[in-house]
Structures are given as structure tokens and as C-alpha cells.
Structure 1
Amino acid sequence: MMMVRVGVVVLVVMATVVTMTEAGSVGAGPPGPPCRHTCFRENPGQPDDGETYCCDRGNLPDIPSETNPGRCPHAIPCPASGTRFQPKACAQDGHCRYHEKCCYNSCVKYHVCKLAS
């Protein structure tokens, strides 16, 4: 009887591990498209500073990587809630105009095209 219980417990644990591995993690939902480009969160003083995240899952044009001149501007305070400004998402400078840089925006929590400084 003891041997049967141990066998059932091992089988349940193995099934759980396989299910978690296939799903990615518990509660993650269905897997999305593969990540084409990762970016770093630049959010000084915040817990997510320096973390990588997927900034392109195939939703942006697949173009060669470019580096536009200039630097990302200093962060500015977030606009009041309810503001209806939708910045242009990017994964690299090539997704932006020549005078813009692809920079992390701590208000929307992803990279957007910003006027280079």
C-alpha cells in the first residue's frame, strides 16, 4: 500500500513539473509570440532598474538595427492621468526618425521614440 502511494505522489509531481514547464510558469496564460528583441529598463531608484524585458514580439517592423546620433533626454515627470498621448513604441533607434532615440519611458514602462538631446 505504501509503495502505491509513493508512486502516485511521484507521478503527480512529475505531471505538475511538465505542465509548469510547458506553460512557462503557473498563471502565465498561453505563451505569446517569441521575443525578437530585448531591452533594458532604465529606471534609476526603482526596483525594476536594469531588468531586461521583451520590447518586440513581432509587433514592430523587422528592420536592421541602427544607432541615431545624440543621447536619450533626461526623464521628465509623468503627465497627469487621463492624458491621451500615445508615444511611438520602439526596440531600437531604427524604429524612430533620424533625430530621435529609442529610450525607456518610465511612465508607460516601455521604450519609445524621444527627441535626441
Structure 2
Amino acid sequence: MSKTYAGARLRRLREERRLSQADLARMLAISPSYLNQMEHDSRPLTVPVLLRLTEAFGVDPGFFSERNTSRLVADLREALAGEVAAARVSASDLAELASRMPAVAQVLLDLGRRGQQLAEGLAGA
């Protein structure tokens, strides 16, 4: 089984629930420093911790899947193809954005789609 690094998603889940690292660590029966390491992708998310998270918060294990990150990177690469081609944004920048700040990446994609819809609407008018 491959190691799963899901620090950004773990941090987002904790912040959405308005929990401190100490509170979440206590709920998961781990040390706050271990939780901190997982949130900063220094340690992978382990299966026992994943199971406790899904149980405590009622989230699907897929919430922490790296497939979501891969899909987000592919969408970013498509949306920002011109920027990547012009070397203003690198593939590693897109991967880091998707893994560390998935909510920001999703907002960027949504803004791009809205801009495209506006441009199409103006062209048709």
C-alpha cells in the first residue's frame, strides 16, 4: 500500500470543525506533534488514524485520496495551459497548489470557468 500524505485535507477538516491540533489529537488518540507532522506532510496518514477520522467526522475515506489531487492537478493544467506553456507556472507549482491548498485551487478553477462563460456570452452577444 502506498503512503498517503493528506496534510492539507486533514488541516481543512480540523479547521472546518473549529478544532485545535491538541483537540483533534486527543480525539484521535495521538500526540499533537504527530498530528502536526501529518498536517505538514512530514508523516503519512496511517490506516488506524484514517479509520478514526472517518468514524469521528463521518467523512468518506476518499476525502483523503490522492486521486482527488491528481484530478485537480489535471484540471489546473488544462485551465492554465497557456500559463504553463509560457513558463509562468510550472507543473510542480500546480501539484503543490493542489495538494497543499485544494480549496484555493478549486476556487481558481471555478473563476476560470466563470471567465470562460462570460467571454463566450460576450462573443455571442
TM-score, length-scaled by structure 2 = 0.19
TM-score, length-scaled by structure 1 = 0.21
Structure with more of its chain in strand, by fraction: 1
Whose RCO is larger (CA < 8 A, sep 6+)? Answer: 2
Which has more radius of gyration? 1
